[in-house]
């Protein structure tokens, strides 16, 4: 098992932290701009809504487009499809 201080540990931890910080919702939580994930998602969407059309017009593949945090959160919080509907 890799222990703190062992070679590679710091690098692995840094990569992990960096990937967490890459998540805009986590960043809003860690910087104290939002208290809950729900609030953080809402804030992130409000601040970046204008970027949706730029992403739509970009050369991202459908898969890359869908995986972009802004689009993933927008679609995740949007109107429910058949499978998720509560009707």
User: By the criterion CB under 8 A, which residues form the site for other proteins?
Assistant: 42, 45-46, 49, 52-53, 55-57, 62, 65-66, 71, 74-75, 77-82, 85-87
Nearer to other proteins, 29 or 42 (CB): 42
Cα 71 to Cα 24: distance, rounded to the nearest angstrom:
12
Cα 83 to Cα 70: distance, rounded to the nearest angstrom:
22
Tokens 């994930």 appear where? 37
Nearer to other proteins, 4 or 59 (CB): 59
Say if CB 21 and CB 30 are below 8 A apart: yes
Nearer to other proteins, 7 or 62 (CB): 62
């Amino acid at each position: 098992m890799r222990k703190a201080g062992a070679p590679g540990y710091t690098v692995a931890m840094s990569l992990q932290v960096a990937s967490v910080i890459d998540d805009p919702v986590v960043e809003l939580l860690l910087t104290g701009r939002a208290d809950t994930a729900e609030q953080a998602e809402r804030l992130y969407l409000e601040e970046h809504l204008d970027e949706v059309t730029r992403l739509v017009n970009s050369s991202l593949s459908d898969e890359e487009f869908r995986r972009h945090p802004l689009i993933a959160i927008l679609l995740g919080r949007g109107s429910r499809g058949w499978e998720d509907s509560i009707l």
